[in-house]
A and B are shown apart, each in its own frame.
Chain A
Amino acid sequence: QKEVEQNSGPLSVPEGAIASLNCTYSDRVSQSFFWYRQYSGKSPELIMSIYSNGDKEDGRFTAQLNKASQYVSLLIRDSQPSDSATYLCAPDAYSGAGSYQLTFGKGTKLSVIP
């Protein structure tokens, strides 16, 4: 059973601060990791993908991956009220049949306070 653990929150940060979201996963075979954002009542939206150990930056977002520790994180700099959403961590599992299956964590609810 593949497990993805996230702090469910809510995580409250003031506008302009750094939000730090963490995720651990149990499947050592996972090679690719994804962060999705889900606004209340909406579908998940991909915001970051990371495939190798280290940091990957994209605008105000930085994903960090440590495969040895089975840990992936997402930092949001200069947090904005529009960042208020649930952030889903999703390691992949390649089925070997031409398809990837993502296992989503329950998500961390982020609230950015103006």
Chain B
Amino acid sequence: EPEVTQTPSHQVTQMGQEVILRCVPISNHLYFYWYRQILGQKVEFLVSFYNNEISEKSEIFDDQFSVERPDGSNFTLKIRSTKLEDSAMYFCASSGNSGRVFAGELFFGEGSRLTVL
């Protein structure tokens, strides 16, 4: 069964360092997302991406964050200068092929746990 894959599964970094989290969405999906979940808290929307551009972003997604789809398969989240409060699980998700999967039905990857020291 097709799945969303994320790398790395866990990354430890020093405050102020740049981090890139990578995702390979399901191949025929059209919409891509990043969500994050701080330990013990709710899943929070960061950004959505469609047709090679950002569709919507939350107030969490400030200038230190950026997303890119550098080729036909990868979807990346870059955090330019990490802060302690960026420590969280980051989930990539995709949705919405042109068939029976409704765009609002998200398929999540297993997540990348980011620890900022």
- Cβ of A49 within 8 Å of any chain B Cβ, yes or no, is yes
Cβ of B60 to closest chain A Cβ, rounded Å: 12
Query: Please, which residues of chain A bring their CB within 8 A of the CB of B107?
Result: 46
Q: Are B104 and A32 in contact (CB under 8 A)?
A: yes
- Cβ of B74 within 8 Å of any chain A Cβ, yes or no, is no
**Which of B51, B55, B104, B111 touches A102 (beta carbons < 8 Å)?**
B104
- Show 20 A/B contacts (Cβ-Cβ < 8 Å), sorted by A: A34-B104, A42-B110, A42-B111, A43-B91, A44-B91, A44-B108, A46-B105, A88-B42, A88-B43, A95-B55, A98-B31, A98-B51, A98-B55, A99-B56, A102-B106, A104-B42, A104-B43, A104-B44, A104-B45, A105-B42
Q: List CB contacts (< 8 Å) of A15-60 with chain B.
A: 32, 34, 38, 42-46, 49
Q: Are B104 and A97 in contact (CB under 8 A)?
A: no
Q: Are A95 and B91 in contact (CB under 8 A)?
A: no
Q: Are B56 and A103 in contact (CB under 8 A)?
A: no
- Cβ of A106 within 8 Å of any chain B Cβ, yes or no, is yes
Cβ of A2 to closest chain B Cβ, rounded Å: 10
The chain A residue sitting closest to B53, CB to CB, is A97
Query: Please, which residues of chain A bring their CB within 8 A of the CB of B43?
Result: 38, 44, 88, 104
Query: Please, which residues of chain B bring their CB within 8 A of the CB of A44?
Result: 43, 91, 106, 108
Main secondary structure on chain A at its contact with chain B?
A: loop
Interface residues of B (CB under 8 A from A): 31, 35, 41-45, 48-51, 55-56, 91, 95, 102-111
Interface residues on A, range: 20 to 34
**Which of B44, B95, B109 touches A100 (beta carbons < 8 Å)?**
B95
Interface residues of A (CB under 8 A from B): 32, 34, 38, 42-46, 49, 88, 92, 95, 97-107
**Which of A45, A101, A106, A107 touches B45 (beta carbons < 8 Å)?**
A101
Q: Are B48 and A99 in contact (CB under 8 A)?
A: yes
Q: Are B45 and A103 in contact (CB under 8 A)?
A: yes
The chain A residue sitting closest to B30, CB to CB, is A98
A80 to B43, CA, bound (A): 25
The chain B residue sitting closest to A8, CB to CB, is B42
Query: Please, which residues of chain A bring their CB within 8 A of the CB of B95?
Result: 100
Query: Please, which residues of chain B bring their CB within 8 A of the CB of A102?
Result: 45, 104, 106
